[in-house]
Amino acid sequence: MTTLIPVLGDQLSSTLASLRGPAEAVVLMVEVFDEARYVKHHQKKIALIFSAMRHFAEELRDAGWTVDYVKLDDAGNTGSFTGEIERAVDRHGATAIRVVEPGEWRVLEMIDGWAPRFELPVELVPDDRFLCSRADFAEWAAARKRLIMEDFYREMRKRTGLLMAFGKPVGARWNLDADNRKVPPRGLNYPAPPAFAPDAITRDVLDLVARRFGAHFGDLEPFDFAVTRTQALVALDHFIAVALPRFGDYQDAIVEGQVFLYHAIIGRYMNCGLLVAREVVDAAAAAFDRGDAPLNAVEGFIRQIIGWREYVRGIYWHAGPGYKESNALGATRDLPDFYWTGDTDLRCIAQSVGQVREHAYNHHIQRLMVLGNFAMLIGVEPAQIEEWFLVVYADAYEWVELPNVHGMSQFADGGLLGSKPYAGGGAYIDRMSDHCGRCRYDVKQKTGPDACPFNALYWDFLARHRDLLKGNSRLWRMYDGWDRLGPDRQAATRASARAFMATLPGPARGWAVAE
């Protein structure tokens, strides 16, 4: 009676529910070509996952598990999950399969096919590394007309007891976001995240990635990511001690030459399982209790994890596999090439693309208000910008990428996730960053060839989607502002937007060229 326990590349946690299982078991870990190639992931992301998998397999063996590990180049590797399960069932004479529920619909559908195909019982175990189970989210959602993140977050605060005292939020406010939009003064000392020198296992993986995936986007080296749990804990401790105290204040800022600011740089480790949510938020809460970090920083950080992270996962499963099909704004433009090359005069975009190529990382506001915002303003087809976001970030997995891009950033779901589109003009980027002073465009000019393109594009976006958006209570001020411009300035603004869009590479289809 041998149970096969497949551990997927984003399930690298020793506390994984399936590993609390039967003694007569073989853990199966496989590097499969299909997974590394279904989108052409950033080279650093593939290296992170394969190296972390190989290290995790060693740790499981040290803990006494029998681990069957199939490397990408091993003879006979079929290149697909299902093919590798089939071979392993035969190799080990497996009588059952026990697997933790996967992170995405595509893989769930694949696992659903295993029981009939192999004529074995397949036990799907809930992934309790998340703080809100799929069933609990479904129950929460069923009782509501609108799925508002802030409501969910408060529920999670009560449920976890984090930053709560006698049933009330510590500090008497649930959300201190208003305190977290400061512009950093010059000369702040930004802490670099810890760097980890590649060991022999990682070096082998880097060679493999260079050989097999060298044409994918992104710089493979230098590679200094954590690839073991011990290293990921060092990264977490470093964040808590050094960056968390200022995480809140400068959370939304963009500073040239500073990639990481006071961000945690742990999403990539949490999403593959090297860190789990509960230990991360407990560490932040403990820093607050010790007086090592202020409430605005700790509340802001905890909200990102027990609020946003759990909420987007809940939305992903709640919305179903068809979520990605909607296109509420009818966007059909091709993604400009400069999202890959960085070859554009738009300095905010060129700088963000340069960073992501090098580090497989941009922080939240670059993703939302620069890269996502621009794609929405020019009307990029949701599937194309979603694929880009899934490819370029080391922390990108569909369950978290899709709601953030399709819902929050592109409003392609028509408002299931966000109450309004996150659209902004150049003034927002100028306020939050120091890019504009060095840009070829003038952020103060509204129209014309030298004006910051975000300005006219922002108004053109609102004008184009007036029928859909004008009833939105959070946008009436913007439409009021647009109406007060008067017909001549409106026409000049829209002509300026059209002239800019005509310069974009790639054909525009549908409305993007229409009046």
Ligand X SMILES: Cc1cc2nc3c(=O)[nH]c(=O)nc-3n(C[C@H](O)[C@H](O)[C@H](O)COP(=O)(O)OP(=O)(O)OC[C@H]3O[C@@H](n4cnc5c(N)ncnc54)[C@H](O)[C@@H]3O)c2cc1C
Nearest to 429 by CA among 485, 377, 490: 377
- Based on the shown chain and the rule CB under 6 A, indicate whether residue 400 belongs to the binding site for ligand SF4: no
Instruction: Write the Ramachandran bin of 486: left for phi over 0, alpha for psi from -120 to 50, otherwise beta.
Output: left
The only residue of 404, 447, 493, 496 in contact with ligand X, by rule CB under 6 A: 404
SS3 197: coil
Q: Using the minimum distance from each CB to ligand X, give the nearer residue, 263 or 347.
A: 263
- Based on the shown chain and the rule CB under 6 A, indicate whether residue 400 belongs to the binding site for ligand X: yes
φ, ψ for residue 210 (rounded to 5)? -60, -40
Q: Using the minimum distance from each CB to ligand SF4, give the nearer residue, 233 or 427.
A: 427
327 to 366, contacts with ligand SF4 by CB under 6 A? 346-348
The only residue of 48, 208, 436, 469 in contact with ligand SF4, by rule CB under 6 A: 436
CA dist 506 to 71, 201, 410, Å? 39, 42, 19
φ, ψ for residue 348 (rounded to 5)? -60, -35
Q: Which stretch binds ligand X (CB under 6 A): 19-27, 133-141, 262-270, 431-439?
A: 262-270
- Based on the shown chain and the rule CB under 6 A, indicate whether residue 377 belongs to the binding site for ligand X: no
Q: How far is the CB of 249 from ligand X (least distance, A)?
A: 13
Question: In this structure, what is the dihedral angle of CA atoms 166, 172, 178, 181, given to the nearest 10 degrees?
Answer: -60
- Strands 168-169, 94-100: parallel, antiparallel or unpaired by DSSP? unpaired
Instruction: Write the Ramachandran bin of 194: left for phi over 0, alpha for psi from -120 to 50, otherwise beta.
Output: beta
Q: Using the minimum distance from each CB to ligand X, give the nearer residue, 169 or 248.
A: 248
- Based on the shown chain and the rule CB under 6 A, indicate whether residue 395 belongs to the binding site for ligand X: yes
Nearest to 140 by CA among 128, 127, 151: 151
- Based on the shown chain and the rule CB under 6 A, indicate whether residue 376 belongs to the binding site for ligand SF4: no
Question: What residues contact residue 307 under an 8 Å CB cut-off, 6+ apart?
Answer: 149, 150, 152, 153, 156
- Based on the shown chain and the rule CB under 6 A, indicate whether residue 153 belongs to the binding site for ligand SF4: no
Q: How far is the CB of 393 from ligand X (least distance, A)?
A: 5
Q: How far is the CB of 221 from ligand X (least distance, A)?
A: 21
The only residue of 357, 363, 406, 435 in contact with ligand X, by rule CB under 6 A: 363
- Based on the shown chain and the rule CB under 6 A, indicate whether residue 265 belongs to the binding site for ligand X: yes
Number of residues lying near ligand X (CB under 6 A) = 28
Query: What span, in angstroms and rounded, lies between the C-alpha atoms of 307 and 341?
Result: 34
The only residue of 13, 160, 409, 493 in contact with ligand X, by rule CB under 6 A: 409
Work out what residue 250 binds among ligand X, ligand SF4, none; the CB cut-off runs from 5 to 8 Å by kind: none
Q: Provide the token pair at 117.
A: 């195909």
CB atoms within 10 A of CB 510: 12
Q: Provide the token pair at 174.
A: 């649930």
Q: How far is the CB of 142 from ligand X (least distance, A)?
A: 22
- Based on the shown chain and the rule CB under 6 A, indicate whether residue 382 belongs to the binding site for ligand SF4: no
Q: How far is the CB of 364 from ligand X (least distance, A)?
A: 4
124 strand-pairing partners: 99
Query: What span, in angstroms and rounded, lies between the C-alpha atoms of 370 and 350?
Result: 10
Q: Provide the token pair at 207.
A: 């060679």
- Based on the shown chain and the rule CB under 6 A, indicate whether residue 312 belongs to the binding site for ligand X: yes
- Based on the shown chain and the rule CB under 6 A, indicate whether residue 461 belongs to the binding site for ligand SF4: no
**Residue 235 contacts residue 226 (beta carbons within 8 Å):** yes
For ligand X, the binding residues (CB under 6 A) are 263-267, 270-271, 301, 304-305, 308-309, 312, 363-364, 367-368, 372, 389, 393, 395-396, 400-401, 404-405, 408-409
Query: Which residues contribute to the site for ligand SF4 (CB under 6 A)?
Result: 346-348, 426, 429-430, 435-436, 439, 441, 443, 452-454
